[in-house]
Structure formats: structure tokens, C-alpha cells
Structure 1
Amino acid sequence: MNLTDTTDEARAGAGLARSDDLAAALLTPEARRDPYPFYARMRREDPVHRSAQGIWYLTRYADVEAALSDLRLSNDRDRMTRAYSALGGDLKAFSRLTDRLGRVMSNTDPPDHARLRRLANRAFTARRVEALRDGIQRIVDRLIDEAVAAGPAMDLVEAVASPLPLSVVCELFGIPPEDLPQVKTWFHRFGRLSEDIDKSEAAIEQYEEYLARLVRRRRADPGDDLISALVATQAQDDRLTDSELLSTCFVLITAGDETTTHLVGNGMLALLRHPDQLARLREDPMLIRTAVDELARYDTPTQAIVRVAAEDVEIGGRTLREGELAYLFLAATNRDPERFEDPDRLDLTRPGNRHLSFGNGPHFCLGGPLAKLQAEVAVGTLVRRLPHLGLADDAVLDWRPNPLQRRLTALPLTY
């Protein structure tokens, strides 16, 4: 469960759902099934679009790439709350969650962001991520074995894509396997934030207390896990408070869950709908790294992220005024013909694939490399082990009604 996704969904209700026709088209059932023609229309008709409520929608690669690196476009929680409050939306869930989490990387700007990011960067290294490969492979093999044993069909989301990232992150952070069911329960309750604030907040409180106990244990008896590394890093930087350390653990553990789930689910669906590319990957398994980048570009899990103008900003010949919100549609940029040749074609060997699926600039997704590694192992193993994998004849595909996230509810497969 990605807490940033949940708060974005709560905030989106205050803006996108009440926008004018061009942006509101993204909320239709047709757009939920396939938003990319709608993005193409927005790029063509009004790529820097201002809605009747004063919300901006950016869909061009060049504009979004620049916006992601522009520090005048803020991710600060207080600015964001004021901007959404001005729209008159109900932000109880968003406000209570951010108050409880405190100031973390995902809702701060420099210099606080840089300070907190350094803590995570020192511990969450490329070497540490790559060292997880064998463990991820074991988890994927186990999940596939269990699904095949239960056969003759599976829901890939439920059987593999959803349990994988939580299992991996628990291993990364040294969360004992016997605690995994309880952690899953908390994550499930987080996901119902907009439905039951009290229960979700209670789950967050219990989860925080659990993490605080883990941090205390690692201080007394360090191990070879990410919490121990974060504790050691904090000791080198006395400006980082215990609250900030705990919030950093909280966000890092939760942040990659849904992104990974839907990268695997969307990616496998794209391959099954493009049998020529699936066959190419089967013939050359070494393509998996470039394949995952292309799958992330082709059907982007995080469709859009939100920023607020901290001062007047000119983008694409338009002026965003201080306090106005901007929705940066990463998925639209990934199909921009000005940046990608034949962008609606899935090409696992696409050269120069500088997609923006994991953002850009100071807020580039810290967990992106781990999400990609999990997708490499999961997709590569499914393709190798299940040569007859295909969509179930009675498969009904649907996506959750959140325009900021591209999330399959289920992916029924036969093998």
C-alpha cells in the first residue's frame, strides 16, 4: 500500500473529480479502461490546461520533465493542504494522515527534503537492493508454486503481484516472517483511509508502535537490515530526530508496495496482449531489464503526481500562479510522440527509453530500482516457468477508479 497514493487519491477528490470536461473525461469508464487516447487529446488540444477550478494539467514530456526539477513547484504538505482546502474539498483523511506521519521525504521541499533523503540514500544503496535478487527469486518461485498447486488458473494480482512487494520489503527491513500477517492487516486498513478514517488511523498508530519497537531492538542489537542501516546513519547525523527516523522507516516500507504490484500486473497484461513481444522475451531472457523499463513506460502504474506552485511559474507559455495545483501526468509524457517514436507501440528493445514513470529531479522515486528489480524477477520467472500463460477465457478486466494510479483489480490467467 503506497501511502502517497492514498493521500493523492483523497486529494484528487477535491480537484480532478470537479474539473471541466477535458479533465473530467479522465474519470469516465472509457478512460479507466484506456486513458491513453484521452491523454493524446489533452496533449493535442491544450497540453498545459487550466481547469475551471484553477487546477493545471500538464501532459507534454518537456513540460513535465522541467516541472519535476523545478523547486518552485512544491510538494510541501502545508502548501498542498492549503491549496486543496481552497477548492472546498473534504480533506479530513489527508490532513489527519499527514499530521500523524510528520514531515517526511514525500511531503517536504529542500532543505528538509535533502536532509531526509541523505539519510535514506546512505542506507538504501544500489548494492543493498541488488543483494536482494536471490531472496526475491525465492519468494517469486514460492508464490508461483503455490498458485500452480492451487490451479488450474490464477489471479496474478492476488497470487503473485500483490504479495510479492510486501514479502520483499519485510525481508529488506528485517521484519520477522511471523509478523507478516499482522503487517498485511495494517496495510489493508491503510488502504481504506477514505472509507473509515478512525480505523485507518488506529492501524497507522499500531504500525508506528510496532516500528518503534523494531528501531529500539536494532539500536540494542544491530543486524544486516535496512532499519539497522538507518539507525547507524542517524548516529552520524544528529540533526535527524527519532520522529524523523521513524517516519522515514514508515514511508520507505510502505512506498513501493502498490507501484510494484501494478508494474507486474500491468506489465504482464501488456505482454499477453502483444504476443510478438512476449515471444521475443521468451527467446531472449536477457531482454528483461529493457523490457521492464518499456513495460513501465507503456502502461505507467503512477499515472500522475501533484505539485503546488510556491510562486508564479511559467510553463509552456502559461503562468501558474502561487498556490495553484498542477497535476503532472507521467503516463501522458510516456506516450508523447515528441519524445518517443511510435509511442503507442510496445517495443521491449526500445532505445533511449528515458520514461518518467518514477519521476525525475529531487523527488525521483527512491524505491524505483527495487520496484524494477522485483518486476524483472517476477515477469522473467513467469515467462520462463509458464510457457502457456494466457488470459482466462472469461477474464473481465477492470481498473480501480483512481485517475492517479493505473491499478488492475484482478488479472485472471490460465497456464
Structure 2
Amino acid sequence: MKIREKLRIRFNRLTFGALNFVEGRIHGASINLFSDEFNQNPHAQFKALRETDPLHYSMAIRAWWATGFELVQEVLRDPRFGTDLRKFEKRAKKIRRRLDAQRLERFENPSMLGLDPPDHSRIRRLVTHGFMHRFIASLEPRIAQIVTHCLDRVGNQQEFDVIDVLAKPLPAIVIAEMMGLPESDHAQFQAWSEDLIAGSGGGDVAAAERAEHSSNALIDYFRSIIEQRRANPGDDLIGQLILAEEEGDTLNAQELYNTCLLLLVAGHETTTRLIGNGLYALLEAPDQFEHLKAHPELIPNAVEEMLRYEPPVIATQRFALEDMEFHGKQLKRGDAVIVSIAAGNRDPAANDQPDRFDITRAKVNQVSFGYGVHLCIGASLARLEAKVAFEHLLERFPDMTLTNQRPKWVANPFFRGFDHLRVVSGSTAA
């Protein structure tokens, strides 16, 4: 059997750089992860699952679906579920047999995403100080400068692509500057990062191959950068990671590479989708757009609603670390659980009228940045970038609308967003 055919029928969770992904193709399942119907509107299928069987086992992909809000939270915080595949001897042995030396090294030394406590806790403690809330808050003036520079590029254009003009460059520049990476490299590592996300969901073998190439390139890139910084660490994020120490403990070389790769990719891809998805939701609800223009103090709450309504990350994955009875179902050690963030966010038990986009929602219950020990370390940065972006968008383009050509959602089982989102700038854009 050819390798491309094998990739289409296998269902395995691998370590791919600092990212984890599922390979597979679903035939005749209740949810077809790779269908255009699912990509364009997964919420209807998630709703059906949540209402009929919130913890559903799919024979097609040999995994459980968790779709209720409380259920999602419970899986993410329960220590009986984890992400470290090395704990499952038979599965790990099969994975090791088909990995080359580079991928095997990454498998044996996963990023924080692929670790469970106490290993995860150790690395997170060493990394967290670079994302302290006070430090993130101090970035707001610089973020505003970057947003202004990006939007100045629109000039007198009657139409522009928000993704290309703002949503992509803003978070990429911010995280690159935090890490002290040269401006001349921004375009290259943004392309590598996009390849990793595109190849993270399986289904597309060519995308997976590009992701593998980009993963190797990013590791080599950071290896070179870190070797240079060890002699002169500086006060940027990479320098802080090199110098980070707690009770004599420091990050080893592979942990540094993995952490840098993870922070770079997660540090801008999620925010790109947050801005794009959020603006689309806002422009699709003109009453909400008008209300937000009249009450810009609601922007932070609007960002929370954007995260809930159209989350950039629609699912994540955990594995049962032991045999257990869980919500009336019998789970075996090693069982995969797809934790549907998008489905949980639209659970009516957590949010009233969940299919309505409402920026005035008194309490926005969402798990778009995760929950429990793997709560996104860069959540406060993403929120700040989105807040500043929408403040400037509403001020500069108060008459903005979507073009007649509707954008196409680009999705895989874990991520969802737009490659392009064209808008009409409005009469005051100049």
C-alpha cells in the first residue's frame, strides 16, 4: 500500500514539531471532520451530538467526542486524562518505529502541549514569568503602534483583506519582537507557522509533508538563534527562557527549541483567527456592530463573546490514563477523547441563546483558551492584541461592511478561521 493511502486510513496521534495532530479519514461517521459541510458550519453537527450523546464514541475514528460545556471542562481538568503519548507503551512503540531521527527526538522531548504534570508543570513554571500580566499590559502602546502602521497601509482603498493587512502581521510582529527576532525573518517564520497549522489536522498529505519540512526548518532556525543568545542572552523572551531558573532547574536545549517553536506558532496563529473570526461575527450582526461603535467600552466583553462564538481552536485532544467509568461510559486506558471547545461554548446549559452573537452577554462562559493545567499561557496577550485591533478598526472604519463575496472557512479538526476576509472600508476609510 502506498504511503499516501496509508495516511488516509490511519488514525494516530503523533508529535509533529511542537504540535500534536490526528491523522485520519472518516467514512460514514456522524461527523465527517474533513467534509466541506463540517468546515463551513460545524456547529449544527456539534449541537446534534451534544443533544443526543454528549460523550459519544465514534467507531470511525476510534475516539470519544466530548461536547457539553461542563463535560469539556471536566476532561480538561481531570488528572486521569493527559496528553503524553509516551505513557502508552504499545502505541509509542509503533510511533517510534516509523519516525526518522529528527521526529523521534521531538517525540521523546515533547513541548508543553504533549506533557502531563509534573513534567508539564516544571516547564510551565520556567516559561510563565515571560508572560506575566504586568509585562503583557506594558506592551499595549507598542501594539497600538503596530496596528496603526498596519491600517495605514489601507490608504484610500475601498476594499481590503483584513487578514493580510492586520490579522496576520500584528501578532506575528508582536511575538517576534518579544522574542527578539530580526524583522527580516518575520515573513519566513510566518510562512513556516502557517504550514504547521495547515498540516496539523490530517486528511491532506501534502499539507502534512509541508508541515514536516517547516517544523524541521523552525527547529534549525531556533537552534541557531539560541546558540547565538547563550553568549549574550539579552532581555527579550528567548533571553529570559535561557536564563530562567527555579531551584537550580533550567530548560535543556530541546526544551528551549520546542518552547520557542510553540510560542511562535501559538503566539500568532490563534490571534490571527481570533481577529478574523471575531470581525466576521461582528459584521454578520449589524446591530451588534452598531452597538459596539456606540459603546467601545464593551470591546473587552465583545472579544470574550468572539472567542465563545467562533473560537480559533475548535477542539483539542486528551487520552485516558487509566481504565475508568466516566459519565456512564466505560473508557479504557489509552482511549482518545476529542474535546470539542466549539460545542462546549455553544451549550445552552452554559450560555443562554448560545447561537446568538451578543456582545452585551453578562457572563461569557467559554473555554477557548483551554482549561486546567493546559490553560493557554498567552491568553492575556491574545486578548490585548484583539482589544487594540478592534478599537482601531472601529475608529478608522466605522462604516465597514463585508463584501458581497462571502469568505470561505478554512478548517481542520482542531483549527478554524479564514485565509482571507475582504471588507468594504466605507466612506470614511480615507
Question: Scaled by the length of structure 2, what TM-score is found?
Answer: 0.85
Q: Give ranges in structure 1 of 5+ residues lacking alignment.
A: none
The secondary structure found in structure 2 opposite 1:21 is: coil
Residues 183-192 or 44-53, more deviating = 183-192
Go from structure 1 to structure 2 and tell me whether the alpha carbon gap of 1:93 and 1:146 turns closer, same or farther (over 3 Å shift).
farther
The secondary structure found in structure 2 opposite 1:413 is: strand
Residues 123-132 or 55-64, more deviating = 123-132
* Residue of structure 2 equivalent to 1:66: 74
2:196 maps to 1:186: no
The equivalences for 1:220-369 within 5 A come to 220-234=231-245, 237-238=248-249, 240-369=251-380
Q: Contact conserved, 2:85 with 2:114, CA < 8 A, in 1?
A: yes
Matched to 2:129, the amino acid is R
| CA distance, structure 2, for counterparts of residue 389 and residue 407 of structure 1 | 20
The secondary structure found in structure 1 opposite 2:325 is: strand
The secondary structure found in structure 1 opposite 2:155 is: helix
| CA distance, structure 2, for counterparts of residue 35 and residue 192 of structure 1 | 18
Matched to 1:170, the amino acid is A
| CA offset digits 1:54-83 (Å, max 9, x no partner) | 310010111111110012111113358965
Q: Contact conserved, 2:276 with 2:418, CA < 8 A, in 1?
A: yes
Matched to 1:157, the amino acid is I
* Residue of structure 2 equivalent to 1:396: 406
* Residue of structure 2 equivalent to 1:209: 220
Matched to 1:64, the amino acid is V
* Residue of structure 2 equivalent to 1:177: 183
* Residue of structure 1 equivalent to 2:11: none
| CA distance, structure 2, for counterparts of residue 116 and residue 203 of structure 1 | 24
| CA distance, structure 1, for counterparts of residue 393 and residue 166 of structure 2 | 10
Residues 317-326 or 245-254, more deviating = 245-254
| CA distance, structure 1, for counterparts of residue 26 and residue 101 of structure 2 | 20
Pairwise CA RMSD of aligned residues? 2.9
| CA offset digits 1:175-227 (Å, max 9, x no partner) | 12122233234335545654266665454344333323333443333333111
Matched to 1:309, the amino acid is A
Q: Contact conserved, 2:242 with 2:251, CA < 8 A, in 1?
A: no
The offset of 1:116, in angstroms, is: 0.6
| CA offset digits 1:347-367 (Å, max 9, x no partner) | 112122231011100011111
Go from structure 1 to structure 2 and tell me whether the alpha carbon gap of 1:324 and 1:95 turns closer, same or farther (over 3 Å shift).
farther
Q: Contact conserved, 1:298 with 1:334, CA < 8 A, in 2?
A: yes
Matched to 2:414, the amino acid is L
| CA distance, structure 2, for counterparts of residue 94 and residue 376 of structure 1 | 43
Go from structure 1 to structure 2 and tell me whether the alpha carbon gap of 1:178 and 1:113 turns closer, same or farther (over 3 Å shift).
same
The secondary structure found in structure 1 opposite 2:160 is: strand
The offset of 1:255, in angstroms, is: 1.5
Residues 177-186 or 41-50, more deviating = 177-186
The secondary structure found in structure 2 opposite 1:147 is: coil
Residues 191-200 or 232-241, more deviating = 191-200
Q: Give ranges in structure 2 of 5+ residues lacking alignment.
A: 1-14, 200-204, 426-430
2:224 maps to 1:218: no
* Residue of structure 1 equivalent to 2:117: 110
| CA distance, structure 2, for counterparts of residue 337 and residue 192 of structure 1 | 31
2:76 maps to 1:76: no
| CA distance, structure 1, for counterparts of residue 105 and residue 397 of structure 2 | 46
2:149 maps to 1:142: yes
| CA offset digits 1:293-344 (Å, max 9, x no partner) | 0110011111110111111233322122111110000110101011111111
Residues 176-185 or 376-385, more deviating = 176-185
Matched to 2:420, the amino acid is A
Residues 247-256 or 281-290, more deviating = 247-256
2:415 maps to 1:405: yes
Go from structure 1 to structure 2 and tell me whether the alpha carbon gap of 1:217 and 1:7 turns closer, same or farther (over 3 Å shift).
closer
* Residue of structure 1 equivalent to 2:56: 49
Go from structure 1 to structure 2 and tell me whether the alpha carbon gap of 1:207 and 1:7 turns closer, same or farther (over 3 Å shift).
closer
| CA distance, structure 2, for counterparts of residue 22 and residue 5 of structure 1 | 31
Q: State percent identity of aligned pairs.
A: 33
The offset of 1:45, in angstroms, is: 1.0
Question: Scaled by the length of structure 1, what TM-score is found?
Answer: 0.88
* Residue of structure 1 equivalent to 2:428: none
Matched to 1:106, the amino acid is L
Go from structure 1 to structure 2 and tell me whether the alpha carbon gap of 1:298 and 1:4 turns closer, same or farther (over 3 Å shift).
farther
The secondary structure found in structure 2 opposite 1:302 is: coil
The secondary structure found in structure 2 opposite 1:195 is: helix
2:130 maps to 1:119: no
Give aligned pairs, total: 404
Matched to 1:336, the amino acid is D
| CA distance, structure 2, for counterparts of residue 4 and residue 406 of structure 1 | 19
The offset of 1:23, in angstroms, is: 2.4
More helix by share: 1
Q: Contact conserved, 1:49 with 1:57, CA < 8 A, in 2?
A: yes
* Residue of structure 2 equivalent to 1:39: 46
Residues 66-75 or 123-132, more deviating = 123-132
